[in-house]
Amino acid sequence: MIDKFREKFVEESLDNINDLEEALFLLEKDMHNSEIIERIFRAMHSLKGGGAMFGFNHLSEFTHHLETVFDLIRNDKLKVSNDIISMTFEAIDQIKHLLQIGDLTDAGDIANQQAFIKRIQEVSNQEGSTSTASVGGSNVEQIAESDGSKTFLISIKPNEDILRNGTNPFYLLDDLHAMGDAKVVAFAKDIPELTQFKPVTNYSQWQVVLNTSESINEIKDVFIFVEDECEIDLQELKVNNVINSDALVALIDKAVADRVLLTKEQIEAIGEAGSGKEDDKKDGKRKVQLKEHKISSIRVNSNKIDDLVNLVSELVTIQAQLNLYAEKDGNSDIVGLAENIQKLSRQLRDNAFEISLIPLQSELMRFQRLVRDLSKELDKEIDFIIEGGDIELDKNIIEHLTDPLLHIIRNSVDHGIEMADERIKNGKSPKGTIVFKAFYSGASVIVQVIDDGKGIDPEFIKSKAISKGLIDENVELSRKEIFDLVFLSGFSTKETVSDVSGRGVGMDVVKKKIGEIRGEVSLDSEVGKGTTLTLELPMTLSIIDGLLVKVSDNQYVIPIANIEKIHAIEDVSFGNTINHIVSIGEEQFPYIDVREVFETKNEDSGGKQLILVKFEDRKVGLLVDQVIGEYQTVVKPLGRYLKKQENISGATIMGDGSIALVMDTNRMIHNNASKKYRTKK
Amino acid sequence: MKDQITSLISFYVDKEVFAFDTLKVRNILEYGKMTWVPNTKDYVLGVMNLHGNIFPVADLRVMMETSKVENTADTSIIVVSNDGKTDSLIGIVVDGVKEVFDIDGLEIKESVYHGNSGIVNSFLGTIHKNEEFVHIIDLDETVLEIEK
């Protein structure tokens, strides 16, 4: 049980840390913004409190010292400096570490931590800065005393400055509400006139009549973080459940009108009067003013979402079977039902997939951090600008994306952006810029990393590729083809392995990783102006809309997103079969005979159709036997033994239980249309 | 490795008897229709669908380069996963499944099998049972060959 809570705490803390880092970045740009400082303080405060509660004592202790620093800053006793920010960044790493391993056991680690704390203390070493850490070790869980419900009268009088600490007293009331039936009475008699009213000052106090089966200790736990900021009075009442009695309502109404606090005796008197039965009929009217706290998002284990998506995928498959059966059967009732189920399962599918999408934002912090740390290390000044952080992608895609992107950004910082003096010499601003940009484009998401650095010379790439034996000396390559050379394995433009990006991962690995999630990478660059790296990614991995085609005995699925147009064979004239060129109307296109690529055995000629598919900036024709129709596809992997199969990216189970293979047109075209590259073995 | 094996599933390839560790076997299917996959090795016959999982089928007779490959009513597909993951499912076509038996005291001897066994060349041992030699195929090594 406790482990589960700890897990949850770690998860939430990671969010908190994310927030903390984000706020720190903002603070770095705007060192006097009290709102940001407040945000940082709050995040630290929850880390500290939660840490102590869930047995992360070292974490709690450590954060306490850090919090002290920001408490001083908050109260204008200390100024934000670059040193403090850098130290805090370092401290965040330490906090992450502590979250991962729990309390330290290794003596060396403990010594390190102590040394770090010393450093923090030195920063905060202005007198009188020890704020109270009241959350010590007194959180031994007690077993509830009895399960019969009891009624309590709880009076809460927060200090005037409770809001300044980021505490929202309403949450306390919510927590109490969650424990059982409660009536809350607010007393706001101390509110001054508007002219004297200060928004950050608390003027209110509350009383809560709570009927709960929780123990008194559980109630006390609600106030664990605000003990020093509130006057809390907790009394157990010797009555039955009177919460819903009219007498209590009347009593409360009177108390509010008279502005006099309720007392224990008053309520106990109701109980004795014997009206403690449930007569909650007219509950509606006089609800004590308390805004309902709506939960707008919930946290779900990602495995559960994977399960959901899998189930929905199965459903879509079965639904296709049902459709097939309904058509065969011809019974109009069943056809109608099947259509309805199809509609529903489509909606369900879309919903389920939307759930599994997460915003790119969640990973951006790491990139921002990388740019910051690296530029400091390399002594370059770099602005990192993020556009479209709210773009959402399948979480499995994001997981695959992080490492390649880290590599790309590292490259930009290390090789792209020049040193300040060099930039000035070339008439550029001494400060480099890296733009991280994400946007939707059709069914794909485009992610770009754009730097304004020195760029890459295509001629240089070409000569390099020739010297490495990757291409033939006389080959004619388009500009795009030249830049594509960078992604070949065995190609690395940097002669010397630098400490930063030369970690054995080349661009070929980036391409491979992105390819694994059916994405494409391309590069464009202009000497002196900068380099742009573009990733084109699918939004989701497991379901695609496809076109079902027949080639020889097999059925194949071509992702519709790639398809430009379908032509009947009569419209097409095969001018030159040796070069594999067709002309349609007044245009010519290269084409691939899929039978040829697949080396199919039987060679009778069926009807033929040409499907024009988009490939990078061109269109290429695919010659298939027959187009069958549109088909919604749940893509399944072929397993590890067929991973090397390049022209097929997966398979799908058809309504009748047979299997259709999903064509990877991009790879097929790439492998067959670009024989200009001599593959290096 | 071979000490952990407690029971075996034996089958014929041509006239010889071979066996897999029962723990690695997920299912035994009749030889049936499968979907051919282009650009694969000659012993990969295609892919099949079992409970929504798609897995490749390899013909052990082709892998072992037996003299004749002929499908009969006995021809079966043994579906195995050497590491228990669905990603590693693979169907192995054999000439007929013989029996499942416990090792119980039978001695696993060093395999002396030197048949003309194609790309299947690692064996965990040989058991002498009922006047027959049963050669235990090392699945881990065999799937590595397939994966190459």
Q: Which residues of A touch B (CB under 8 A)?
A: 314, 317, 553-554, 597-600, 636-643, 645-648, 651, 653, 657-661
pLDDT tens, position by position, A608-620: 888 988 876 788 8
Taking CB atoms and an 8 Å limit, are B37 and A648 in contact across chains?
A: yes
pLDDT (0 to 100) of residue A138: 37
Task: For B146, name the nearest residue in chain A, comparing CA atoms only.
Answer: A641
User: Most distant CA pair in chain B: distance in Å?
Assistant: 46
Contacts of A479 (CB under 8 A, 6+ apart): A458
DSSP-assigned letter for residue A679 = P
What's the mean pLDDT in B3-13? 87
Within 10 A of A2 (CB to CB), how many other CB atoms are there?
A: 9
β strands within A223-335, DSSP E = 230-237
pLDDT (0 to 100) of residue A415: 84
pLDDT (0 to 100) of residue B21: 92
Task: For A636, name the nearest residue in chain B, comparing CA atoms only.
Answer: B54
pLDDT (0 to 100) of residue A576: 56
Taking CB atoms and an 8 Å limit, are A317 and B90 in contact across chains?
A: no
Between A235 and A371, the more confident residue is A371
pLDDT (0 to 100) of residue A602: 63
- Give the number of A-B residue pairs with CB atoms closer than 8 Å: 77
Over A303-368, what HEC string results? HHHHHHHHHHHHHHHHHHHHHHHHHHHCCHHHHHHHHHHHHHHHHHHHHHHHHCEEECHHHHHHHH
CA dist., res. A441 & res. A461, Å (int) = 29
Checking if the pLDDT of A503 tops 70, the result is no
Checking if the pLDDT of B60 tops 70, the result is yes
Q: To the nearest whole number, what is the mean pLDDT of chain A?
A: 78
Structure tokens at A327: 């058509």
Encode A288-307: b = buried (16+ Cβ within 10 Å), e = exposed.
beeeeeeeeeeeeeeeebee
CA dist., res. A535 & res. A142, Å (int) = 55
pLDDT (0 to 100) of residue A135: 37
| Residue B39 pLDDT level (bands cut at 50, 70, 90) | confident
Checking if the pLDDT of A583 tops 70, the result is yes
Among residues A426, A422, A430, A432, which one has the least CA distance to residue A371?
A432
The answer to which of A341-355, B24-38, B89-103 has the lowest mean pLDDT is: A341-355
Considering only CB atoms, which chain A residues are within 8 Å of B58?
Answer: 641
DSSP-assigned letter for residue B35 = B
Considering only CB atoms, which chain A residues are within 8 Å of B53?
Answer: 636
Measured in angstroms, the CA of B13 and the nearest CA of chain A are apart by 22
| CA angle centred on A426, ends A423 and A429, rounded to 5° | 45
Q: Which CATH superfamily is domain B2-147 in?
A: CheA-289, Domain 4 (2.40.50.180)
Task: For B54, name the nearest residue in chain A, comparing CA atoms only.
Answer: A638
Contacts of A271 (CB under 8 A, 6+ apart): A237, A238, A239, A240, A242
| Residue A443 pLDDT level (bands cut at 50, 70, 90) | low
Measured in angstroms, the CA of B58 and the nearest CA of chain A are apart by 10
Checking if the pLDDT of A606 tops 80, the result is no
CA dist., res. A11 & res. A537, Å (int) = 28
Considering only CB atoms, which chain A residues are within 8 Å of B52?
Answer: 314, 317, 636, 653
| Residue A442 pLDDT level (bands cut at 50, 70, 90) | low
| Residue A280 pLDDT level (bands cut at 50, 70, 90) | very low
Q: In 3-state terms, what secondary structure has residue B82? A: coil
Checking if the pLDDT of A499 tops 50, the result is no
Taking CB atoms and an 8 Å limit, are B35 and A658 in contact across chains?
A: yes
| CA angle centred on A436, ends A431 and A438, rounded to 5° | 155
A661 closest CB neighbour out of B35, B90, B147 = B35
pLDDT (0 to 100) of residue B26: 92
Considering only CB atoms, which chain A residues are within 8 Å of B39?
Answer: 597-599, 645-648
Contacts of B41 (CB under 8 A, 6+ apart): B146
Structure tokens at A465: 């590729």
pLDDT tens, position by position, A308-327: 877 887 787 788 788 888 88
Among residues A680, A562, A584, A566, which one has the least CA distance to residue A623?
A566
Most confidently modeled of A77-86, A214-223, A602-611?
A: A77-86
Contacts of A292 (CB under 8 A, 6+ apart): none
The CA dihedral of A47, A52, A58, A59, to the nearest 10 degrees, is -10
pLDDT (0 to 100) of residue B115: 58
Structure tokens at A45: 């405060």
| Residue A294 pLDDT level (bands cut at 50, 70, 90) | low
Structure tokens at A525: 């660059």
| Beta strands A150-158; A230-237: pairing state | antiparallel
pLDDT (0 to 100) of residue A500: 42
Residue to substitute from A309, A549, A642, A656, interface B, most B β-carbons within 10 A: A642
Structural domain spans, chain B: 2-147
CATH number of this structure's domain A543-673: 2.30.30.40
Answer CATH for A150-272 from 3.30.70.1110, 3.40.630.30, 1.10.3720.10, 2.40.110.10: 3.30.70.1110
Considering only CB atoms, which chain B residues are within 8 Å of A653?
Answer: 49, 52, 54
pLDDT (0 to 100) of residue A131: 39
pLDDT (0 to 100) of residue A351: 85
Between A289 and B140, the more confident residue is B140
pLDDT tens, position by position, A446-482: 899 999 988 888 888 888 888 878 788 888 888 888 8
Residue to substitute from B44, B47, B92, B148, interface A, most A β-carbons within 10 A: B47
pLDDT tens, position by position, A530-555: 899 999 887 766 667 789 998 888 89
Checking if the pLDDT of A143 tops 80, the result is no
Q: Is the ipTM of this complex over 0.95?
A: no
Q: In 3-state terms, what secondary structure has residue A186? A: strand
Terminal Cα distance for chain A, rounded = 55
Checking if the pLDDT of A273 tops 80, the result is no
What percent helix, strand, coil does chain A show, rounded to 5? 45, 20, 35
| Residue A634 pLDDT level (bands cut at 50, 70, 90) | confident
Most confidently modeled of A83-97, A588-602, A654-668?
A: A83-97
CATH number of this structure's domain A358-538: 3.30.565.10
Bridge partners (DSSP) listed for residue A438: A447
Task: For B32, name the nearest residue in chain A, comparing CA atoms only.
Answer: A658
Q: In 3-state terms, what secondary structure has residue A637? A: coil
pLDDT tens, position by position, A251-270: 888 887 777 788 877 777 77
pLDDT (0 to 100) of residue B44: 93
- CA distance to A349, A386, A460, A542, per residue, from A356 (Å): 11, 23, 43, 11
Residue to substitute from A311, A595, A640, interface B, most B β-carbons within 10 A: A640
Taking CB atoms and an 8 Å limit, are A659 and B53 in contact across chains?
A: no
Considering only CB atoms, which chain A residues are within 8 Å of B54?
Answer: 636-639, 651, 653, 659
A642 closest CB neighbour out of B36, B40, B52 = B40
Range A2-123 classified under CATH 1.20.120.160: yes
Checking if the pLDDT of A495 tops 50, the result is no
pLDDT (0 to 100) of residue A91: 87
Long-range CB contacts (< 8 A, 24+ apart) of A496-499?
Answer: A498/A414, A498/A415
Taking CB atoms and an 8 Å limit, are A597 and B146 in contact across chains?
A: no
